[in-house]
Structure 1
Amino acid sequence: MEKLFYQDPYIQTFTTTIIKQAQDESGKWYVTLEQTAFYPEGGGQPYDIGTLNDNKVIEVQEINGEIRHYLEHPLPEITQDVKGNIDWERRYDHMQQHAGQHLLSAAFEELFSYKTKSFHLGKEVSTIDLDINELTEQEVLEAETLVNRIILENRKIETKWVTKEELSDYPLRKELSVSENIRLVIIPEFDYNGCGGTHPHSTSGVASLSILSLEKQKNMIRVSFVAGNRVLKQLHEKQQVVSELSSLLNAPQNGMAEAVTRMLGQSKEQAKELKEMKEKLLEYEATALFSKTEVISGRTILKSVFQNREMAELQSIARKLVSASDDINVFLVAENAGKLQFVGARGSKSNLDMKSIVKEVFAFINGKGGGKENFVQGGGETTVTGEELIGEISRIISNV
């Protein structure tokens, strides 16, 4: 098969003859062609998509030496010649990202001798993994600056097929994984690298490159970047966010950090005030609950049922009650979204063993939890109502 994408990566349309149309093991239809400009997935670069006679090409793979063009629907059996159209926006984006990766990897190696271990060309963002443990912001800036200088110099990006014996003539950036059909991608006096992907004819075709973020990945540093048209896309998206935030904060762009800092300070102060107010409300609620105390088997008991209350609130109310009365025994139940939650607490002068009581409570509601002799908490199923559970607690206490 003649690979037109190697003859000229800028070929967008072509006409050729079908060699065969068939289904693979999973039943997907594909065709092989005498020549193709569709790039098959490989070397870190995604496959091309497009059309053959207006029939969508949805995937391209090189399998067992043949390039398979997977189709949305099979072509009519009488079809012999087809016209291919590459999705050029997608292809050129891949060319820009791939060439950008060559430049970025070469820059890190040229400046700091940091080697690239892997490359991923993503749909929105691409990454390289550097074989290092740390990378400074200054090093990132220097590498990005060098890449964009090489882009502006409009250096040629050359491709060359060489033999294994000829490799010694080139200062390769990394060891090759093949020993035949060797294709080099060369940016003179900057990068010499074995690669089977597609690239612009010159570095200016990359347009620009921007490093977005760093992430520690095991024993490496993952560098996320965008090149070409993706840089503008990122800029527009970020500018839109900045504009929206500027409007929300009622502050100019250079005053946004100060506005956010001020807002966070206010938010913390408001959160503190809210917490204090909530504690006061819980104190008032605890005081009001004292009217519910009763005597069971000679012990002062306080029981109450709540709706949709957080466990932390039940615990706080219980602690306030036993702090205010040293002989009280408190049992609070909350009915919360399909489950029952329970808190039991005793005053310092009570000898009621909450742990033994809670075992029977949990058996009654198929629950689980834990605590100490003076304070327990947990939850269980709503097999009974909160009031029925309170009644069961009264029965348990009567038998203690």
Structure 2
Amino acid sequence: MTSIERAVEGLPETEKLYLTDSYVKTCSATVIRIIKHRGARRHIVLDRTVFHPLAGGQPSDTGLIEGEGFRFQVKKALLHKGVVLHFGKLTGREPEEGESVECVLDWERRYLVMRLHTAGHILDAAVSEYFGRCVDTLGANHGPPAAYVDYDHAPPDARALASIEESANRIAASDLEVKIKFVEAERLAEEVYNAPNLDRLPKASSYRIVEIVGVNAIPCTGTHVVRTKEVGRIELLGLEELSRGFRLRYRVV
């Protein structure tokens, strides 16, 4: 059994507030487990959280967990068997299991990640539109300082890149609604469209779908803006040829 498995053993799944509302910046929670490490480093597990962990091509949120007499700087959040573990540095007294705390996101960073993640879904649509078919992705980082998506296709030339960027910004500027829905597994095929990687989707009883209305509907657990106009302008920063496919680097401004 690994240290992470021991840390979450016997714990219920964390209530993940970011799955239903990406704009929740703070929440009250209860400490249910504390794992001490060297010095002031700790893992803290709460019954509920606003912190999105490192998962699905999205980097971890950062911020604070605060209680009376202490402050915990969240450096990263991890997900294991449905439990979110907050890792960071403690200042002040030792918190106790069962006590109430306040979670506070680094909202400026989170909102940038939301814009970048929605921009990544827009790029999926623009790349697929250019090549005339849904192009699978091989990996992604929808966050600073270097956002990118890896595509399973021969690299496009400079002219094609310009066309992809133009299409992506047309979608962003259209101010389309971005909807979150939860669907049972048997209804997944009815609800998704223009979605890459469906053959690699892990088996589950239900799925969370992020839909850019009229553009694509993709299984995703990440945080997103509610209108594409919030993304701003998408700038393609370059292309890197990989042993398989290509990496498209981008930013939002």
Same fold (TM over 0.5): yes
Alignment gaps of 5+ in structure 1: 232-400
Aligned with 1:119 (options 118, 140, 143)? 140
* Alpha-carbon distance, 1:24 to partner: 6.6
> Residue type matched to 2:224 in 1?
H
Which residue number in structure 1 is paired with residue 227 of structure 2?
202
Alignment map for 1:105-144 (pairs within 5 Å): 105-112=124-131, 113=133, 114-121=135-142, 123-144=144-165
> Residue type matched to 1:7 in 2?
T
* Root-mean-square deviation (Å): 2.2
CA–CA separation in structure 2 for the residues paired with 1:26 and 1:130: 42
* Alpha-carbon distance, 1:149 to partner: 1.2
Aligned with 2:65 (options 38, 46, 52)? 52
CA–CA separation in structure 1 for the residues paired with 2:80 and 2:228: 32
Across the two proteins, how many residue pairs are aligned to each other?
Answer: 228
CA–CA separation in structure 2 for the residues paired with 1:89 and 1:158: 22
The alignment partner of 1:160 has SS state of strand
CA contact (8 A) 2:116 2:143 kept: no
CA contact (8 A) 2:40 2:90 kept: no
In structure 2, do the counterparts of structure 1 residues 136 and 222 end up closer, same or farther at CA, with 3 Å as the change threshold?
A: same
* Alpha-carbon distance, 1:25 to partner: 11
In structure 2, do the counterparts of structure 1 residues 78 and 105 end up closer, same or farther at CA, with 3 Å as the change threshold?
A: closer
> Residue type matched to 1:51 in 2?
L
* Alpha-carbon distance, 1:135 to partner: 0.7
> Residue type matched to 1:41 in 2?
L
* Alpha-carbon distance, 1:35 to partner: 1.2
Shifted more, 72-81 versus 160-169: the winner is 72-81
> Residue type matched to 2:193 in 1?
P
Shifted more, 81-90 versus 178-187: the winner is 178-187
Residue 166 in 1 paired to residue 184 in 2? no
Residue by residue over 1:258-278, the C-alpha shift from the partner in whole angstroms, topping out at 9 and shown as x without a partner, is: xxxxxxxxxxxxxxxxxxxxx
* Alpha-carbon distance, 1:121 to partner: 3.3
Residue 63 in 1 paired to residue 85 in 2? no
CA–CA separation in structure 2 for the residues paired with 1:90 and 1:83: 19
Higher relative contact order structure (alpha carbons within 8 Å, sequence separation ≥ 6): 2
In structure 2, do the counterparts of structure 1 residues 34 and 219 end up closer, same or farther at CA, with 3 Å as the change threshold?
A: closer
> Residue type matched to 1:90 in 2?
R
CA–CA separation in structure 2 for the residues paired with 1:156 and 1:97: 16
The alignment partner of 1:58 has SS state of strand
CA contact (8 A) 1:108 1:115 kept: no
CA–CA separation in structure 1 for the residues paired with 2:140 and 2:38: 30
In structure 2, do the counterparts of structure 1 residues 86 and 122 end up closer, same or farther at CA, with 3 Å as the change threshold?
A: closer
The alignment partner of 1:110 has SS state of helix
CA contact (8 A) 1:172 1:194 kept: no
CA contact (8 A) 2:54 2:60 kept: yes
* Alpha-carbon distance, 1:32 to partner: 1.3
Which residue number in structure 1 is paired with residue 201 of structure 2?
177
Structure number having the greater strand percentage = 2
CA–CA separation in structure 1 for the residues paired with 2:39 and 2:136: 39
* Alpha-carbon distance, 1:202 to partner: 1.2
Alignment map for 1:294-309 (pairs within 5 Å): none
Alignment gaps of 5+ in structure 2: 1-13
The alignment partner of 1:224 has SS state of strand
Alignment map for 1:230-241 (pairs within 5 Å): 231=253
The alignment partner of 1:162 has SS state of strand
Which residue number in structure 2 is paired with residue 6 of structure 1?
19
Q: Compute the TM-score of the two structures, normalised by the length of structure 2.
A: 0.83
